[in-house]
Amino acid sequence: MQLRDGIIELNSTGYFYYTMEFPRPYDVVIYFVAPSCKLCNDLNEHYQKVAKFYADSGALYKSESKRAVFFATMTFNDKTKQVFEQLGFISAPNLFVSQPHIVFVPQDERERYLRDMKWTISYTDGTVTAHKFLEFINKRTARQVDYKASTSEALTVIGVLLGALTVGALLFFIARPLFLNPKLWFVGSIIIFITCLAGVVYNIIHNVPFFSQNNRGGLQWKTNSGRQQLGFEGLFLSLGMTFVGLTMVLIMKLKVLVRHRKIDPLIERSIYLFLFLSIFITVQFVEENYRQKSHYNPIYWPPKHYIKGPLNRDQGNSF
């Protein structure tokens, strides 16, 4: 058992000593790796960075309300094989957060507990960064350690931002009439709306994969977890909600668009009916997908407990 860069290098004896001792005023975060594992080596720098963030925040020492947090690594070999098998690891790398009460978890609940405390990392997780490590570890240690960008990272972001502002200013002066066109702003606002609604910026920062694979190896475009979403899922559902909004605008503007054309009243009513039906079907589709993710979801119809009545009683009124 050795200490390198503030991270404990565990053998099997050290693992059982640090994780099975009770009482203990600390949590142990363990990064399980294997020899000649490229992904393990690629992510090691991010893991070390997170360990330093915790050390700099004082998390190595317990406080009145929080336990201390130690960071460790374990490499797969003949002597540590038993630990990997005990935790159900069949590949590497893996991340595991051991809490003191693990020794009291009943055997029938142990599998569920371990599933919540461990993360089997693979290429299907997208690009794993220090941000993702922090998010996983913070959630299980009940701490809020923030990512601290290095000086070079901060200067890079500032340089990119200033460059983008400079290019934007030049484009505005060169193509001023184009930028003052209302149609451009309308299209631009739609793009911004879709980008925000789909969580594109969040997906880029956290390297969320566009698609994933299900247990059968098939293509998966959405998750059923209320706390997660894939890139395509957010984009597809946001496009659906944008379609609903634009269709409503079209319904209001249809009379203006066809004012110079003679349209049979039956055809006109059919167009309106088709547009309303399109809105209804799209909203139902979006609602159903959100319902599969969580009970707390937007619904088209009022819930069963909705109170109806006069203006001073109906829940749809805010006064």
Tens-digit pLDDT string for the chain (319 aa):
555 667 889 888 888 888 877 778 889 999 999 998 888 999 999 999 999 999 888 887 877 778 889 999 999 999 999 999 888 888 889 999 988 877 677 777 777 877 888 898 887 777 788 888 999 999 888 888 888 877 887 888 899 999 999 999 999 899 888 888 998 899 999 999 999 988 888 888 777 888 887 767 778 888 877 667 888 998 999 999 999 999 999 988 887 777 777 778 888 889 999 999 999 999 989 888 888 877 666 666 777 777 777 777 777 665 4
Q: Which pLDDT score, from 0 to 100, does residue 93 have?
A: 92
d(C-alpha 245, C-alpha 39), whole Å: 44
Nearest to 27 by CA among 99, 92, 86: 99
d(C-alpha 275, C-alpha 259), whole Å: 18
Neighbour tally for 208: CB within 10 Å: 22
Tell me whether residue 198 is exposed, middle or buried, using C-beta atoms within 10 angstroms of its C-beta: 0 to 12, 13 to 18, 19 or more: buried
Q: Which pLDDT score, from 0 to 100, does residue 67 have?
A: 87
Q: Which pLDDT score, from 0 to 100, does residue 238 have?
A: 92
Q: Which pLDDT score, from 0 to 100, does residue 219 have?
A: 83
| pTM over the 0.75 mark | no
